[in-house]
Amino acid sequence: MSGITKLRLIGLAGTNGSGKDTVGHLLADRYNFLFVSVSDFLRDEAKRRGLEVSRPVLRMISAEWRREFGLGVLVDRSVELLQSSDGRYSGVVASPMRNSGEAQHLKDLGGILIWVDADPRLRYERIKKGNRGRPEEDDKTFKQFLEEEQAEMHRSGDDATLNVADVKKLADVYLENNDDVDSLNVALKGLWDFIKYYTPA
């Protein structure tokens, strides 16, 4: 991981359905970032093991990896993808950060942590539209949606388990995403100035 502090590194965290992937894709499209959904690492591993791709399974695998490879494993794998891209990108944006250890690792490497949030009912409506392409994960009632989110907010075991509420405390920027994409684009203009100032290339 040598030289990582010379790279622009952004971590996205936030509530479920808040639009973290949307922010990540906009940063990729507008500012030439490599967007990495770290959950895809876990989904691929679940499929490799022949397991159901569900949030409990993804939580289990992520905790296993953190115990085996360190709390910052998902950040490190994102950076490795950037470093293997032959300089094609201005930086990497990794999403989501769901463990305070990995969030702190990102910040220790010189990264910025952005928290994305929105109204709970709006977030639920977003995932029910199916735009994320994850029907096996998003087929749930509003009550189940809220219960699942709460299960991820606070640590259920050792330091390798999820504790999203503690990740929020580490955030450098808070972004409300209750409006449309045009409004989000306006917010990202100011965010980009912040990113350039705190993570010089």
- CATH code, residues 4-194: 3.40.50.300
Q: Contact, 95 vs 171, CB < 8 A?
A: no
Residue spans per domain, the chain? 4-194
What is the model's pLDDT at position 183?
75
pLDDT digits (tens, 9 = 90+) for 112-146: 999 999 999 999 998 888 665 566 666 789 999 99
Q: Contact, 71 vs 159, CB < 8 A?
A: yes
Show Cβ contacts of residue 1 under 8 Å, excluding neighbours closer than 6 positions: 76, 79, 109
* d(C-alpha 50, C-alpha 60), whole Å: 14
pLDDT digits (tens, 9 = 90+) for 47-84: 999 999 988 999 999 999 999 999 999 999 999 999 99
